[in-house]
């Protein structure tokens, strides 16, 4: 799957599934249909895992720390819990336009979660007002998404990566000064 949309051969999929290529047509009506479902499931998975992590986060966390929780969940999804989700996220930009359009809503839904986290942090005065919120979000997600391209266990522990990414993101976004007033 790391070969991208065009590079993923149906026979590769079949090999992994340990069946012959035509058997796939018993379950999917075409290669595109298969990829589409894989991406849809991957996106849904990523979203579900992040939402779950947020739901299980301890009460009383600052908005920015909740964003840190999402960062950890997204990264750990991408890097371990599911190749599936990682492949989906990285594949989306390569999809042919008509196919990508069909996932736009799922993409938006996922990004919406992040937008909400940033908006909350902003409302709480925890975010540097010198940053463009929309751009910041994409930069942060980019940092996370690209990680699947370079990280492998030999490059340090997963926890180390998560900790560094989290800290980098949270402190990069944080408002100056004494921090937000505790309300």
Partner DNA sequence: AATGAATGAGTGTTCATTCAT
Partner DNA sequence: GATGAATGAACACTCATTCAT
Q: What is the C-alpha to C-alpha distance for residues 64 and 167, in angstroms, rounded to an integer?
A: 11
Q: What is the C-alpha to C-alpha distance for residues 60 and 181, in angstroms, rounded to an integer?
A: 14
Q: Does 25 bind DNA (CB under 7 A)?
A: yes
The residues binding its own copies (CB under 8 A) are 2-7, 93-94, 128, 130-132, 134-136, 138-147, 149-151, 155-156, 160-161, 163-165, 167-169, 171-174, 178-179, 182
Q: Does 15 bind DNA (CB under 7 A)?
A: no
C-beta of 6 vs 55, nearer to DNA: 6
C-beta of 9 vs 167, nearer to DNA: 9
C-beta of 19 vs 163, nearer to DNA: 19
Q: What are phi and psi of 89, to 5 degrees?
A: -65, -40
Q: What is the C-alpha to C-alpha distance for residues 94 and 76, in angstroms, rounded to an integer?
A: 23
Side-chain-side CA neighbours of residue 131 (13 Å): 24
Q: Does 61 bind DNA (CB under 7 A)?
A: no
């Amino acid at each position: 799957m790391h070969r991208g949309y065009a590079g993923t051969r149906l026979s590769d999929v079949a090999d992994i599934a340990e069946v012959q290529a035509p058997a796939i047509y018993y379950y999917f009506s075409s290669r595109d249909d298969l990829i589409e479902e894989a991406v849809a499931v991957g996106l849904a998975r990523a979203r579900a895992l992040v939402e779950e992590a947020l739901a299980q986060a301890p009460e009383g966390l600052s908005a920015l720390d909740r964003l840190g929780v999402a960062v950890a969940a997204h990264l750990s999804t991408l890097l371990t819990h599911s190749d599936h989700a990682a492949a989906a996220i990285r594949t989306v930009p390569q999809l042919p336009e008509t196919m990508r359009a069909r996932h736009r809503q799922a993409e938006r839904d996922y990004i919406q979660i992040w937008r909400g986290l940033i908006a909350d942090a902003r409302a709480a005065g925890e975010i540097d007002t010198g940053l463009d919120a929309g751009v910041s979000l994409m930069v942060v997600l980019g940092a996370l998404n690209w990680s699947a391209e370079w990280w492998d266990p030999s490059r340090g522990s997963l926890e180390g990566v998560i900790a560094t990414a989290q800290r980098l993101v949270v402190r990069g976004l944080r408002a100056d000064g004494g921090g937000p007033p505790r309300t």
